[in-house]
């Protein structure tokens, strides 16, 4: 019981950190090319992860772990950041955030496929209902849509759900922070090469907000947030704790409204209450 509660607390901290990712990315892509932003954030986080692993003298993963770490790297180090950065060239961060409400369902599905979890049937009812609430909210509340941007976000949700489930499975043995650090390390060389290849001719037109956005997604979104998130998934269950992602759109929308002055409708409060109820129900029937 204590492990489960600790998992939910860690998961919530991770979600709060991740909630700032899309608004920060939205600010950053105003001045940075999406591809450069993707590889730069991964390269910065990878260098920090290398220092951390060397300083802690962490043992290398087993040979059988490297393929799973590669899946994590493709999903959360490269795939999700790149696809969301591309999406945010076409849609607002407020619209992109509501797609994150589909992540719990994607994570739960991959948790069953890759993590061997078997939630109760009622869990799926709450999970689907929560995702439907978020999807309905997206359709009613946001008119800044773009088919290309929406497809990018859908792809981002799929690869991220796989990366979350795969990383959580590994975290049970390696530890949460070790998993994301090793995933960043194996991505480091190609990310550094691509960073040099996409290096802008000049940074003169890059404003301070964009630099802050790059700093946030490099340090918090790519590294620190995963320390808490993978630990939460490993302790509390991939499918169960993954339902906390239903709350991420509303934390993110609040930040988008406060920091970016993007429109956030009053319907958000009503839907949030419903989503919280779905999270509570999913938690109750996850095992």
Write out pLDDT tens, residues 116-145. Answer: 667 777 877 877 887 777 767 666 655 556
Angle at which helix 121-141 crosses helix 267-284, to 10 degrees, equals 170
User: How much is the pLDDT for 192?
Assistant: 94
pTM of the model: 0.80
- Asked if residues 82 and 25 have their Cβ atoms less than 8 Å apart, the reply is no
Backbone angles phi, psi at 60, to 5 degrees: -70, 145
Give me the residues of the chain with pLDDT under 50, please: none
> Which residues have a Cβ under 8 Å from the Cβ of 147 and sit 6 or more positions away?
none
CA-wise closest residue to 178 among 39, 68, 13, 25: 68
- For the chain, helix, strand, coil in percent to 5 are 85, 0, 15
- Asked if residues 6 and 235 have their Cβ atoms less than 8 Å apart, the reply is yes
- Token code pair at residue 267: 């319907």
d(CA 161, CA 13) in angstroms, rounded, equals 18
Say how many residues make up the chain: 287
Q: Could you give the 3-state DSSP secondary structure of residue 204?
A: coil
d(CA 191, CA 197) in angstroms, rounded, equals 10
User: How much is the pLDDT for 42?
Assistant: 92
Neighbours of 30 (CB within 10 A): 14
| Triad 22, 94, 179: Cα angle to 5° | 25
CA-based radius of gyration for the chain: 18
């Amino acid at each position: 019981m204590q492990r489960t509660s600790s998992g939910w607390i860690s998961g919530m901290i991770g979600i709060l950190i991740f909630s700032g990712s899309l608004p920060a990315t939205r600010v950053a892509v105003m001045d940075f090319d999406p591809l450069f932003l993707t590889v730069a954030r991964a390269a910065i986080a990878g260098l920090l992860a290398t220092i951390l692993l060397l300083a802690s003298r962490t043992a290398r993963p087993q040979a059988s772990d490297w393929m799973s770490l590669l899946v994590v790297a493709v999903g959360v180090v490269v795939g999700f950041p790149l696809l969301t950065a591309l999406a945010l060239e076409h849609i607002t961060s407020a619209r992109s955030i509501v797609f994150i409400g589909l992540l719990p369902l994607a994570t739960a599905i991959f948790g069953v496929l890759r993590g061997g979890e078997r939630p109760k049937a009622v869990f799926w009812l709450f999970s689907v209902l929560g995702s439907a609430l978020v999807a309905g909210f997206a359709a009613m509340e946001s008119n800044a849509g773009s088919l290309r941007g929406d497809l990018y976000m859908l792809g981002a949700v799929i690869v991220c759900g796989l990366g979350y489930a795969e990383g959580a499975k590994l975290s049970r043995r390696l530890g949460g922070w070790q998993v994301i650090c090793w995933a960043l390390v194996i991505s480091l060389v190609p990310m550094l090469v691509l960073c040099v290849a996409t290096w802008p001719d000049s940074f003169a037109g890059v404003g301070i907000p964009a630099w802050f956005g790059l700093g946030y997604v490099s340090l918090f979104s790519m590294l620190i947030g995963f320390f808490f998130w993978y630990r939460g998934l490993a302790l509390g269950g991939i499918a169960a704790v993954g339902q906390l992602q239903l709350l991420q759109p509303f934390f993110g929308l609040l930040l988008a409204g406060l920091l970016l002055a993007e429109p956030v409708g009053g319907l958000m409060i009503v839907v949030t209450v419903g989503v919280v109820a779905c999270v509570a129900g999913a938690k109750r029937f996850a095992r």
